[in-house]
Structure 1
Amino acid sequence: MKFEDSIFSKKYRYSKKSFDFGTYYFLDKIVIAEINYGVHFDEKKIAIVIESIFEHYETNCKLGYISNRLNSYSFEPDLWKKFFDEYNFIVASVSVCYTNMNLMNATIEKRFSKKNIKITNNLDDAFTWILSLKELN
């Protein structure tokens, strides 16, 4: 389910940022990503997203990240390690997976991350878990 079609888009204030590779939603302490079908999410795209996050929040923010995997896309798993070595603003993340392929990709990415990553199949669980984190309260 798209974030904008969920009850959470009515419950929480957010701003929306659209890129040619996907859409990002910036809530109070949560970033939600919905990457377009067939995109290869690489370092250049990560840099664009990070710049946008820092413009919206600031450079010393602490955020939860929800990857709402509505579509299949590719991502280099070793970029997770590089990303977390260089940046430290993501406290934890949730991958919401609707297909077995997305679940497999999220499981591989989780192995490369030093951060806490939860995998679920719905936005309800994602929000419940992210909002329960003491680092964001």
Structure 2
Amino acid sequence: MKFEKSPYFEKLKPYKLELPFGNYYLCPNFFIGELFEGVHFDWEKTEILVKEIIKFYGEFKPIAFISNRINSYSVDPQNWIKIVQKYNILVASAIVAYNNSNYINASLEKHFAKKSIKRCLSLSEAIGWVESLEEFN
């Protein structure tokens, strides 16, 4: 389910960040990413995104990330390691997988990440998990 079509969109009233490779929805303690079909999310795109995220939240605010995988695209799993090494802004991430292939890819990415990654089957599950993180309560 697209975030904009979910009941959470009206409730959270996020800032929408539109980038050439996807849309991002910036909420108080987390942001949701929806990459476009066929994108390869490499380090160059990651740095563009992270710079925008830091511009919005600041350098020191702990935040979480939800990858809402409504489209088919590829991700360089090394990005997870590099983000922690260079920026260290994420406290945790959730990946919403809508099919078996996405779930398997999320499992692979989980092995590369230094921070917690939760694999979820719905946007609701991901948002609930992120909102319950001790860093935000």
**TM-score, normalising length: structure 2:** 0.96
* Contact 2:37-2:73 within 8 A present in 1 as well: yes
Matched, 1:18 2:1: no
| Aligned equivalents of 1:90, 1:16: Cα separation in 2 | 19
Structure 1 residue 67, shift from structure 2 partner:
0.3
Q: How many residues are matched?
A: 137
Structure 1 residue 69, shift from structure 2 partner:
0.3
| Aligned equivalents of 1:92, 1:78: Cα separation in 2 | 16
* Contact 1:64-1:136 within 8 A present in 2 as well: no
Structure 1 unmatched runs, 5+: none
Structure 1 residue 133, shift from structure 2 partner:
0.6
* Counterpart residue identity of residue 62, structure 1: P
* Counterpart residue identity of residue 90, structure 1: L
Kindly, what percent of the aligned residue pairs are identical? Answer: 42
Q: Tell me which residue corresponds to 1:136.
A: 136
Structure 2 unmatched runs, 5+: none
| Aligned equivalents of 1:58, 1:82: Cα separation in 2 | 19
| Aligned equivalents of 2:79, 2:52: Cα separation in 1 | 18
Q: Tell me which residue corresponds to 1:119.
A: 119
Q: Tell me which residue corresponds to 1:42.
A: 42
Q: Deviations over 1:89-129 (max 9, x none)?
A: 11111000001111111110000011111001101111111
* Counterpart residue identity of residue 48, structure 1: I
Q: Tell me which residue corresponds to 1:71.
A: 71
| Aligned equivalents of 2:123, 2:70: Cα separation in 1 | 11
Give SS of 1:37's match. coil
Matched, 1:56 2:56: yes
Structure 1 residue 79, shift from structure 2 partner:
2.1
Matched, 1:103 2:103: yes
Give SS of 1:24's match. strand
Give SS of 1:16's match. strand
Q: Tell me which residue corresponds to 1:90.
A: 90
| Aligned equivalents of 1:13, 1:20: Cα separation in 2 | 22
Q: Deviations over 1:16-42 (max 9, x none)?
A: 011111000000011100001110001
What is the root-mean-square deviation of aligned Cα atoms in Å? 0.9
Q: Deviations over 1:58-96 (max 9, x none)?
A: 011110110000011111112211221222111111000
Moved >2 Å (runs of 4+): none
